[in-house]
Amino acid sequence: MVDPSVILASGVPGGAQVWHQSELTDAKRKQLHGQGFCRIGATIEAGSTVAVEFSFEIGEQEIPCGGKLRVAWRWPFDWAEPEAMVVETSSAEIGVFFEPRGDLNPWQHHIELEVLDGKLDHGDRVVLRCEGWGGPTFATEDAFFLMLINPDGGSDWIRLVDPVTYAVCAAPAVRIVAIAQAEGVIGQELELRVVGEDRWGNPTSFDGSLQFGGTEAEVEEVGEESGWPVRLCRARWRVPGIYRLRVLCGDLVAESNPVRIHAEEPEHRLFWGDLHAGQTAIGCGAGSLERHFAYARYAAGLHFASQQANDHYITRELWDHVRTVSHACDEPGEFVAYLGCEWSPPTEDGGDRNVIYRADEARLRRSGRFFVERDPDLEPDLERAPEFLAAFRDEEVLLNLHVGGRPTNLAWHEPKIEPLFEIHSTHGTSEWFVAEAIRRGYKVGITGGTDGVMGRPGACRPGRRVTRNVRNGLTAVCARELTREGLWEAFSARRCYATSGERILLWVEVDGHPLGAEYSTDGHPLVRVEVEGTAAIERVDLLRGFEVIQQWSIATPDPGRLRVLFGGAERQGTAGEQRVIWDGKLSVDGGKCSALRSIGLQCAEDEVWQPDARCVAWRGATGGNDMGFSAEIDGGRCSFVTEPCTFEFDPVQTANKPLRVAVGGADKRVAIGLAPAEDGPRRAELSFCDEAPLGGMQPYWVRVVQVDQERAWSSPVYVHRP
C-alpha cells in the first residue's frame, strides 16, 4: 500500500528500488515513461486458470538493448507459472523470464522482459500474453499488477501509472465449518457461525436450509452476517456439560468445536483469537485493515486480533490510519482489536517481534524504513534489540516472539514485556523455537497465530505454498472478561495455550496452579490435564522442560490399518527454510493396498491417491507438522520413495514394532506403524505425580496430538523446588 503523495521510492535499503514518481502528474508520467495496460476479467475465481494480456506503450524514455520491462505482483499473490508466455513487438528482440521470488519488496514475484537486441523507441508497443495462468488462491477485492520500466538494466525501476484493478472471488463451497463460542452458562444464548469454504479455504456462500443434531441444544438460525457469507445461529443449553453441534446442509456436514456449558458464571472464560493475525496492504499483505478485523471477527469467529504489518513499510500517515481503524474496531464484550505492529530487523539484530499496545501510541519506533519519504517522520529508528528493548521496557506493551520472516533472536529477551512465544503459524510448527526459549530459562506463554499475508486472520490456508506452508494456529486465553484489560491481565499471566488451528479445549494445572503460573513447593508436583478434542486423541505428552516425562496413549491401535506419516522441517527458520517436499510413492511388492485415507493434508494441492492396487502416491509438503495416510496393506514388502529418503520395510514387522526413520534437517522423519482408531475417545482426564528428586525451577507443560495430527500446546506451569 503506497500513498503516492508521501512516498518517493520503495525497496530494501541497498537493494532494488521502485521509484513512484509522486512528484509528477499521471499525464506527465505517461508522456515521459509510457504506460501499461492489463486485459483481465474484472473478477476471477480463486485458483482458476486464466489468460492475461499486458501491453507496454513506450514513452519519451527509450529502452535500449539491456533495458527491461517488468510486470510484478505483491508477496501474497500466489500466481503459478503460466503454461505459455508470448511476447509480440516489431522493434526489438525480447526475452521473457518468470521469477517467483524477485528483488523488489514487497512485489517479489514478476515476469521480466529484457531487450536482447535493438531498442524500444517512443510509441513502440510490447505485448505479453500469459496463457494457462493459475490465478491467486485467496479472495480479495482490489488486486493489481505493478508495471515498471528499467531503461539502464540496473536496480532502479520506474513505476508506470497502475493498470486496472481486478478482484478474486471465492470458488464454490466444498465444505462447511461450524464455529461455536468456547464456553457459556446454562440458559445463555451462544453464537454459532456456519461458514462455507471453497477448496482453498475462502469463505463462500452455500445454499440450503441448516439442520442441527447431536446435542440437546435449542438452536435457531437468525440470518446471515452482514457483508459475509456466514450463517449466524443462536444455541442454548439447559444442562451443564461438554457439547458439540452437528450441522447439516444438503451433502455438507460439519461438527462444531467442543463447547463447555457451566452451571453458573465461571471466574474465567475461554476466548479464541490471534495476536499475530498478519498483514494487510499496509505491509506486505493484501486487503484493507477494516476488512482484516472484520474477517477475524465475522468470518473466523475470533474474539480478539491485532494487525502486525512490518514496521519498515509504515509511514507516519499509515500509522495514524492503523491507530484510527484499530480503535474503531474495538468493541468491549464482543471483540477486542489491539493496536499493533511488528518490529522487524534482521535476525542478527533482534528479529521479528510483535508489539501489542494496551492503549494508544502516536509514535512508531521502527527498526528501519523500506521507503524514501517526501517529508520524513523524525521519530528515530531503533535498529537493534538492545536499544529497542530499553526503549519499550517500561511501556504498556506486550511482545509476542516468533518464527516469522526474520525469526526472533532469543539471545535478547526482556521478561517484563516479552511473556509470549509463538509455536505455530502459517510458516509452520516450530516447537524447536519454544524449546530454545525454555532451555534459556525464559518464562514462556505459548501462542499460535496466523502471521498471514492473504487477509484471512484466524482462518487461513497456505494456497500454493508460495509464501506459507500450513494452516494458521490459534490462541486460547482464559480471561475474566472480554475486554482489552481483561485479556491483557491473562496474557501477562501467561494463562493461554496454542493450537494448530482446531479449537481443542485444554486445561493444565499443577498442584492447583493454572497454566502460566509460578509457585514454590517442597513436595512432589501433581499435574492434572483435561482435554476435549475436535477429533479422537492419539496421545498426550507431559514435558518437564523439553523432556517428555510421561506419555499417555489414548487411541487404541487399529490392527487392520497401517499408517505412514512424514514430517518435520528442512531447517529451523521461516516458511521457505522449513519446507520439505515429500512428493513420492509407496509400492507393495507381492501384495496390495486398499481403503486409503489421507491424514493432515494442508492445502488444495496436497493429494494422496492410488495409481493401482499395489501403489500409493502423494503430493505434499511439511513445515514442522506431520501428514500422510493410512491403508490396509496385505502381504508383500514395501518400498518408500521420496526425495528426502528411500527405504524398504516389512509391513508386518512395522505393525508389531513401529518404524521411525530420521532424515536429518530439523527433525525430518518418517513414522510407520499401526494406525490409531479414528473413532477413539475425544476426552481425556489425566494426572501424574513427578517424584523425581529435582531442585530449581521446573516448567511443566503439555502437548496434545490428535489422530488427524492437529495439536495443542499448553503454557508451562513453573514450579520452584528446593
Per-residue pLDDT reduced to its tens digit, 509-557: 999 999 999 999 999 999 999 999 999 999 999 999 999 999 999 999 9
Residue 6: pLDDT band (50, 70, 90) is confident
Helix-then-strand count for the chain, H and E: 8, 58
Rounded average pLDDT over 314-329: 97
Residue 2: pLDDT band (50, 70, 90) is very low
Using the predicted structure, report yes or no on whether residue 3 has a pLDDT greater than 70. no
Q: What is the pLDDT of residue 664?
A: 96
How is residue 317 written as a grid cell? 500517515
As a whole number of angstroms, the distance between CA 104 and CA 643 comes to 31
Which whole-number Å values give the CA distances from 136 to 239, 293, 330, 623, in the listed order? 46, 22, 31, 22
- Look over the chain and give the mean of its residue pLDDT values, rounded to a whole number: 96
CATH 3.40.50.300 for domain 175-265: no
Per-residue pLDDT reduced to its tens digit, 586-612: 999 999 999 999 999 999 999 999 999
Which whole-number Å values give the CA distances from 258 to 531, 552, 602, 682, in the listed order? 10, 21, 22, 10
As a whole number of angstroms, the distance between CA 280 and CA 288 comes to 6
Rounded average pLDDT over 20-48: 95
CATH no. for 504-556+684-722: 2.60.40.10
As a whole number of angstroms, the distance between CA 696 and CA 673 comes to 39
> Do 504-556+684-722 and 7-169 have the same topology in CATH?
yes
Residue 5: pLDDT band (50, 70, 90) is low
Write 484-491 long-range contacts (CB < 8 A, 24+).
484/330, 484/332, 484/336, 484/338, 484/358, 484/359, 485/358, 487/271, 487/273, 487/304, 487/336, 488/358, 488/398, 490/268, 491/275, 491/398, 491/419, 491/420, 491/445
As a whole number of angstroms, the distance between CA 542 and CA 525 comes to 13
Rg value, the chain, Cα: 27
Q: Which of 273, 715, 695 is nearest to 513 (CA)?
A: 715
Asked whether the beta carbons of 125 and 59 are under 8 A apart, the reply is no
Residue 566: pLDDT band (50, 70, 90) is very high
Which whole-number Å values give the CA distances from 709 to 495, 539, 615, 627, 679, in the listed order? 24, 10, 23, 7, 14
CATH 3.20.20.140 for domain 270-501: yes
Per-residue pLDDT reduced to its tens digit, 673-698: 999 999 999 999 999 999 998 899 99
If DSSP codes are grouped into helix, strand and coil, which group holds residue 206?
Answer: coil
Using the predicted structure, report yes or no on whether residue 1 has a pLDDT greater than 60. no
Residue 636: pLDDT band (50, 70, 90) is confident
Determine what percent of the chain is predicted with pLDDT higher than 70.
99
As beta bridge partners, residue 56 has: 36, 126
Dihedral pair phi/psi, residue 81, rounded to 5°: -70, 130
If DSSP codes are grouped into helix, strand and coil, which group holds residue 692?
Answer: coil
As a whole number of angstroms, the distance between CA 142 and CA 42 comes to 10
How is residue 138 written as a grid cell? 485467496
Which one-letter DSSP state was computed for residue 128? Answer: E
Rounded average pLDDT over 247-275: 97
Using the predicted structure, report yes or no on whether residue 104 has a pLDDT greater than 60. yes
Residues in the chain: 722
Per-residue pLDDT reduced to its tens digit, 577-587: 999 999 999 99
Domain ranges of the chain: 7-169, 175-265, 270-501, 504-556+684-722, 559-676
CATH no. for 7-169: 2.60.40
Per-residue pLDDT reduced to its tens digit, 461-506: 999 999 999 999 999 999 999 999 999 999 999 999 999 999 999 9
Rounded average pLDDT over 286-296: 97
Using the predicted structure, report yes or no on whether residue 71 has a pLDDT greater than 60. yes
By the 10 Å C-beta count (0-12 exposed, 13-18 middle, 19+ buried), 722 is classed as: exposed
Q: What is the pLDDT of residue 511?
A: 98
